[in-house]
Chain A
Amino acid sequence: MSQGLLAILFGAIFVNNILLMRFLGLCPFFGVSTRFSTAIGMSSAVLFVMTFATWITWGIYQLVLVPGSVLLGGILPQGLVFLRTVSFILVIAALVQLVEMFLKKTVPVLYSALGIYLPLITTNCAILGVAFLVIDNKFGFLQGTIFAIGTAFGFGLVMILFAALRERLELAPISKSFRGYPIAFIAAALVSIAFLGFTNMFGISP
């Protein structure tokens, strides 16, 4: 696929927004988007881990798992593609722990800001989802990086938009059975309709 980098970037942020169009990473979306500050913390942690995870999983797939790969091509000509799911999830889990330890030692300021969000990210389906999508779309290294960064920005954009919305919803007089999740879903539906307007921007459809 030889999409332009700009199209990949804006496609990932707006047209195929990870939360509203692809439905990945909804747990932090509904769980953490209640406050502006937590939404920002979570989004920066996602940006950080998503980029790293995409690099590592892309490298593993292209160097080890793919048929005829550089490292194992001589021994296993059929490749190890069937190990994709298990290797990616284990690598992401290990990566998150490593990033956590590294930040704790070297950048304590950043650690104190992102600390509590990092462990949550292991089970965040957005990270693993982006790793799979980069492989499925046959992106190269640069395209994959741009895609991961764009996706993380799209995640952050909607998280922050939604945090502002929900801070107001808390004060609104909402009928009892609609409080909490139901009204959050309906607000998400409205924001999602707005994002439908980006369809066919740069000739990309969801």
Chain B
Amino acid sequence: MSADVDNPEVTSEEAKEFLLPQKPKGESGWKIFSKGIILENPVLILMLGLCPVLATSTTARDAAGMSAAVLFVLLMSNIVVSLFRKIIPNEVRIPVFIVIIATFVTIADYTMQAYQPGLYKVLGIFVPLIVVNCIVLGRAEGFAYHNGVWPSILDALGKAIGFALAIVIMGSIREILSKGTWFTLKIAPEAFQKNAVLFFGLPPGAFLVIGLLKAGINKIFKREG
């Protein structure tokens, strides 16, 4: 069931390192936290968990809502998995992780439905689908199961901020180009808002924006693929 690991879909070595169990390396807390934000950004560098990034980045506000849900689930599941890591038997660890993650996903799902019904309607099934997001399961298996609570919290925060950074950048670009607004603030001149490029709010716009973003990142970091 640990599908992500020996998986032809995950090709790069860095992505494997992200998902496979790593022994504690004795890295400083700051390094554990900061790795996930830029250098090992789960979305823009490792290309993991793409579905919500493309689907819920129509506007910056949707993107921020999705990031908050992912932050909550990732942080709580990392904390609980690392607290119980000595009790969870190795053979059934993946089903146990899934149940832990699904519990927090359900909490996030119902909380958002109750307090942010408008946002919940836009995000739709992508909130319950956090349960199969490979960033969350990958960190439970790859980090929290082998590390203490404090490093696991730092790791979850770093990875969630990296995810949020990627999806909010996508959401901002798409919202500004397709509506002329940013977090629903009118920032572009009236003339642009009337003739905004609707294309970027549609599904093909999402593919184009992330393709160009990734190419730009490859250029800056001198990477390939």
Residue numbers of A with Cβ under 8 A of B are: 20-28, 30-32, 38, 82-86, 89-90, 93, 96-97, 116, 119-125, 128-129, 132-133, 136, 176-186, 188-190, 192-193, 196, 206
A123 vs B132: C-alpha distance in the bound complex, in angstroms?
Answer: 5
Do B215 and A125 touch across chains, with their CB atoms under 8 A apart?
no
Given the complex, which residues of B lie within 8 Å of A120, measured CB to CB?
Answer: 3, 7-9
Q: Are B11 and A31 in contact (CB under 8 A)?
A: yes
Contact assessment for B8 and A189 in the assembled complex, using a CB-CB cutoff below 8 Å:
no
- Report the minimum CB–CB distance from A133 to chain B (whole Å): 6
> Is B122's beta carbon under 8 Å from chain A?
no
Residue of B whose beta carbon sits closest to that of A97: B1
Output the least CB separation between B94 and chain A (Å): 8
B:79-101 near A, CB below 8 Å: 95, 98-99
Partner of B98, one of A90, A97, A206: A90
Asked if A182 and B206 sit within 8 Å, CB to CB, the answer is no
B215 / chain A contacts, CB cutoff of 8 Å = 177-178, 182
Instruction: Summarize A's interface: helix, strand, loop or mixed.
Output: helix
Which of chain A's residues have a CB closer than 8 A to the CB of B137? 123
Residue numbers in B under 8 Å from A97 (CB-CB): 1
Q: Which of A30, A86, A189 contacts B50 (CB 8 A)?
A: A30
The number of residue pairs between A and B whose CB atoms lie closer than 8 Å in the complex comes to 146
The answer to whether B125 and A85 have CB atoms under 8 Å apart is no
Closest 9 CB pairs of A and B: A31-B9, A185-B211, A180-B225, A189-B207, A86-B102, A23-B55, A182-B215, A192-B204, A177-B218
Query: Once the chains bind, are B109 and A26 in contact (CB under 8 Å)?
Result: no
In contact, A129 and B211 (Cβ under 8 angstroms): no
Beta-carbon contact of B207 and A86 below 8 Å = no
- Enumerate B108-139 residues with CB–CB distance to A below 8 Å: 109-110, 124-125, 128-129, 131-134, 137
Which residues does chain B contribute within 8 Å of A38, judged by CB atoms?
8
B214 touches A193 (CB 8 A): no
**Residue count of chain B within 8 Å CB distance of chain A:** 50
Interchain nearest-CB distance for A58 vs B (Å): 15
Which residues of A have CB within 8 Å of B188?
none
Main secondary structure of the interface of B (DSSP, over half): helix
Q: How far is the CA of A143 from the CA of B102 in the complex (A)?
A: 27
In angstroms, Cα B133 to Cα A129, docked, is: 12
Q: Is B212 an interface residue (CB 8 A)?
A: yes
Which single member of A25, A89, A133, A183 contacts B211 (CB below 8 Å)? Answer: A183
A179 engages B125 (CB within 8 Å): no
How far apart are the CA atoms of A188 and B95 in the complex, in Å? 34
Q: Nearest residue in B to A87 (C-beta to C-beta)? A: B102
Contact with A along B1-39 (1 / 0, CB 8 A): 101100111110000000000000000000000000000
9 A–B contact pairs at CB < 8 A? A23-B51, A23-B203, A27-B9, A27-B134, A31-B8, A86-B106, A89-B131, A93-B98, A181-B214
From residue B209, how far is it (CB to closest CB) to chain A in Å?
A: 9
Beyond A23-B55, A185-B208, A196-B204, 14 additional pairs, beta carbon < 8 A: A26-B54, A31-B7, A90-B99, A96-B1, A120-B7, A123-B4, A132-B125, A132-B128, A179-B225, A180-B225, A181-B225, A182-B218, A186-B207, A189-B205
